[in-house]
């Protein structure tokens, strides 16, 4: 092989190698599809940004190339492209829920503005890093919730409808080591009873309780009792949400 031909081959190889890097981007973008990312750290202007208590930034990349985003109250969504290392959301829309705190509205606005600015993105191991002009969010892949642990009732199920729990009413259900405990701070105070799993059915008898009237909590206690009154409830976990209901359509929804 002549020197001229050898140089041409080497030049072609080098050009191909340099051009291979951008082809990694579609592969990485495909890796985001179908996944939900939850913020593990947030910075603004180089300093840690404190989110409203109990909230996180969530980004969900659907299989049909849409982005669903939330900062703790309203949901934003729109068609998304990830070309050129940028998150570009066309026609970003947002629900118009009345958030219980003005800080939640401000947080929604902050995230919406960040996404509209087409922030850059990269994968750092399994983490997704979003970087805007004045903010950076590190997000981890959401791990599927398991039944074990403590859940807080956030909805009351009656047939196919769900209503929110009364303001100020907090009732938890804890599944731990084969036992279930309902704690309402009123008539049920976390006394654990054994339960059995059979497919998607939880078999448990909650047992007796006191009969005090506790205001807003009463409605939630009644809903939990109705769900378990036959001694068996079906359960379904969707991300960090749990639905418990029985054959008659009575039940509760819960969050971790």
**CA atoms in the 13 A half-sphere facing the CB of 211:** 0
What's the chain's average pLDDT? 88
The per-residue pLDDT for range 185-217, each reduced to its tens digit, is 999 999 999 999 999 999 999 989 999 999 999
pLDDT tops 80 at residue 128: yes
The per-residue pLDDT for range 32-86, each reduced to its tens digit, is 999 999 999 999 999 999 999 889 999 999 999 999 999 989 999 999 999 999 9
pLDDT of residue 31: 80
Q: Which long-range contacts (CB under 8 A, 24 or more apart) does 166-172 make?
A: 166/216, 166/217, 166/219, 166/220, 167/216, 168/215, 168/216, 169/215, 169/216, 169/217, 169/219, 169/220, 170/217, 171/217, 171/220, 171/221, 171/224
pLDDT of residue 167: 86
Show which of 141, 176, 197 is a domain's final residue: 141
* Same domain for 75 and 153: no
Show which of 141, 174, 189 is a domain's final residue: 141
Decide which of 135 and 98 is more confident. 135
* Same domain for 162 and 86: no
Domain count, the chain: 2
pLDDT of residue 29: 66
Note the pTM of the prediction, 2 decimals: 0.62
Supply the range of the domain harboring residue 87: 23-141
For the ranges 7-16, 53-62, 156-165, the lowest mean pLDDT is seen at: 7-16
pLDDT tops 90 at residue 226: yes
Q: Check which CATH number belongs to the domain holding 114 and give it.
A: 2.40.128.270
């Amino acid at each position: 092989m002549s020197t001229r031909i050898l140089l041409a081959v080497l030049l072609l190889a080098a050009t191909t190698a340099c051009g291979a890097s951008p082809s990694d981007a579609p592969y990485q973008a495909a890796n985001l599809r179908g996944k939900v990312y939850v913020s593990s750290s947030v910075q603004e202007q180089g300093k840690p940004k404190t989110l409203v208590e109990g909230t996180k930034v969530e980004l969900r990349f659907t299989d049909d190339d849409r982005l669903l985003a939330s900062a703790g109250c309203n949901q934003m969504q729109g068609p998304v492209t990830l070309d050129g290392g940028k998150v570009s959301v066309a026609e970003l829309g947002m629900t118009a829920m009345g958030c219980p705190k003005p800080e939640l509205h401000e947080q929604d606005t902050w995230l919406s503005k960040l996404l509209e600015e087409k922030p850059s993105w990269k994968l750092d191991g399994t983490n997704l890093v979003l970087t805007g002009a004045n903010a950076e969010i590190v997000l981890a892949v959401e791990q599927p919730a398991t039944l074990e642990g403590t859940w807080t009732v956030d909805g009351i199920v009656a047939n196919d409808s769900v209503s929110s729990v009364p303001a100020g009413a907090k009732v938890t259900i804890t599944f731990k080591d084969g036992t279930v405990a309902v704690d309402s701070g009123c008539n049920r105070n976390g006394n654990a009873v054994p339960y059995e799993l059979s497919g998607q059915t939880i078999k448990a008898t909650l047992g007796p309780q006191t009969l005090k009237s506790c205001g807003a909590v009463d409605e939630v206690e009644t809903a939990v009792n109705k769900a378990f009154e036959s001694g068996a409830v079906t359960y379904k976990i969707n991300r960090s949400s749990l639905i418990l209901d029985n054959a008659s359509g009575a039940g509760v929804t819960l969050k971790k």
